[in-house]
């Protein structure tokens, strides 16, 4: 019935797109995005309907996996920060709610900033050189540092830095 209603609306001139589950003869199911596109003459009358079907199973699986990972990051009790690496300077592109709770900084206050602001003027720390070397070399490391909350109070942090590689193997984040 849903398909009949969609065809009726397409005949009336609407372009419609929806996703449905298609069951193959083998019993396997696939997510299929179906688009019904009216074909019109020069006067705008509908002559027919193009029906386009696209297998979106893999894309939907990836979207579900991404939602799951995002939820895991957002619900972690550990502070998570993602920085974009560039020659112009590293900048924060994501912090989770635990970062906000632990540091007192709202995400909007830190996005786009260099993460080094967390050290304040306390730049003579042994862990910082280790951290700088790992960022420069795009390698993994662990560093123990003194950082400073929004209210100025000091807290210890153990950082775990791991590069995120693109398709060519270059560290981007």
Phi-psi region of 168 (alpha: psi -120 to 50; beta: other; left: phi over 0): alpha
pLDDT, tens digit (0-9, with 9 covering 90-100), for 120-158: 899 889 889 888 888 888 899 999 999 999 999 999 999
Phi-psi region of 107 (alpha: psi -120 to 50; beta: other; left: phi over 0): alpha
pLDDT, tens digit (0-9, with 9 covering 90-100), for 34-51: 999 988 899 988 888 899
For 88, counting Cβ atoms within 10 Å of its Cβ (0-12 exposed, 13-18 middle, 19+ buried), the class is exposed
pTM of the model: 0.69
Please state the rounded mean pLDDT for residues 64-78: 92
Higher-pLDDT residue of 156 and 9 is: 156
Question: How large a percentage of the chain has pLDDT more than 90?
Answer: 62
Measure Cα distances from 75 to 18, 56, 70, 103, 109 in Å: 32, 28, 9, 16, 20
Separation CA 164–CA 113 (nearest Å): 19
CB atoms near residue 131 (< 10 Å):
21
Please state the rounded mean pLDDT for residues 50-66: 92
């Amino acid at each position: 019935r849903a398909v009949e209603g969609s065809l009726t609306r397409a005949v009336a001139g609407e372009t419609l797109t929806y996703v449905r589950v298609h069951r193959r003869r083998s019993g396997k199911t696939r997510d299929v995005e179906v688009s019904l596109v009216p074909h019109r003459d020069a006067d705008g009358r509908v002559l027919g309907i193009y029906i386009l079907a696209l297998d979106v199973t893999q894309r939907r699986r990836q979207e579900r996996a991404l939602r799951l990972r995002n939820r895991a990051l957002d619900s972690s009790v550990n502070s998570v920060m993602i920085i974009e690496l560039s020659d112009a300077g590293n900048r924060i592109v994501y912090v989770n709610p635990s970062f906000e709770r632990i540091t007192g900084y709202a995400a909007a206050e830190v996005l786009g900033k260099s993460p080094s602001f967390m050290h304040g003027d306390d730049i003579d720390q042994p862990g910082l050189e280790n951290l700088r070397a790992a960022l420069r070399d795009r390698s993994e490391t662990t560093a123990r540092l003194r950082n400073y909350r929004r209210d100025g109070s000091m807290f210890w942090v153990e950082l775990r830095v791991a590069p995120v590689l693109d398709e060519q193997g270059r560290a981007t984040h």
